[in-house]
Amino acid sequence: MAEHPRHADDLAARWARLIAAAGLGEAGMLGDRLIAAYSEAHRRYHGLAHVRFLLNEIDRRASSLGNARLVAFAAWFHDAIYDPSAKDNEDRSAGWARRDLAVMGLPATQCDAVARLILMTKSHHAGDATPDEALFLDMDFAILGADHEVYTRYASGVREEYAAVPDAAFRAGRAAFLKSVLGQSRMFRTDLYEEECGGRARENMAREIERLESGAPLI
């Protein structure tokens, strides 16, 4: 699903502002390469709109973040490599971030912090998360608590990204994942997102499970 060119232009400008604020020099047109990665034809949810959503959330929650700049770098890189059939997307994305941000001049400790943020999205386990890490994980999952129409587009996008998976297998796997999330005592790691999005997330996921198990169209 191609996005309007102006959306890519807006993100390119935001990337330029981010690296300027961090005092970094551009390396190998990294911003262009990231935008190209998120524009890949197979992406239906994990594309430019998802990056833009996360950056908007970071701006909205900046006062609650200890280092919004590092969280923004994590947002840019966390799905930079995305193959629905692969198990190492986050590992490879974190490696890309650590390598190229170091080349641009980001201190090693900060490169490691960005990589850790990315790797935490692999399982969304936040047992020992810092406040910034917990907020970032919640931002990544905030789509679950979106308005019904937005959530429906998200769910359809996920199905399209897994088009190679047979319908019955997708329905069973997706329903099992949603039930595992619903079975937790909290939807989100932080009170901020639990209070704002938790109830709506439960409603959205319960509605999607019903569609998955009833055989209703998913796209």
pLDDT in the model for residue 128: 84
3-state secondary structure the chain: CCCCHHHHHHHHHHHHHHHHHCCCCCCCCHHHHHHHHHCCCCCCCCCHHHHHHHHHHHHHCHHHCCCHHHHHHHHHHCCCCCCCCCCCHHHHHHHHHHHHHHHHCCCHHHHHHHHHHHHHCCCCCCCCCCHHHHHHHHHHHHHHHCCHHHHHHHHHHHHHHCCCCCHHHHHHHHHHHHHHHHCCCCCCCCHHHHHHHHHHHHHHHHHHHHHHHHCCCCC
* pTM exceeding 0.85: yes
Task: Please identify which residue in the block is written with the tokens 């524009």.
Answer: 39
pLDDT at 33 over 70: yes
Average pLDDT over residues 100-108: 96
User: Comparing C-alpha atoms, which of 100, 87, 94, 143 is closest to residue 118?
Assistant: 94
Give yes or no for a contact between 194 and 174, defined as CB atoms under 8 angstroms apart: no
Q: In this predicted model, what pLDDT tens digit does every residue of 49-78 receive, in sequence order?
A: 999 999 999 999 999 999 999 999 999 999
CA distance 84 to 40: 12
pLDDT digit string, tens, across residues 81-100: 999 999 999 999 999 999 99
Residues 143 and 54: their CA atoms lie apart, in Å, by: 10
Q: In the structure, what pLDDT confidence band is assigned to residue 8 with cuts at 50, 70 and 90?
A: confident
- Chain CA centroid to CA 209, Å: 21
Amino acid 2: pLDDT: 45
- Segment 118-145 shows an average pLDDT of 91
Tell me the average pLDDT across 161-174.
97
Structural domain boundaries of the chain?
5-124, 144-214
Count Cα atoms within 13 angstroms, Cβ side, for 77. Answer: 29
| 1 has a pLDDT exceeding 50 | no
- How many angstroms separate the CA atoms of 202 and 195, rounded? 12
CA 21 remoteness from chain centre: 23
pLDDT the model gives residue 6 = 63
C-alpha distances out from residue 195 to 145, 172, 198, 201, 202, Å = 10, 29, 6, 11, 12
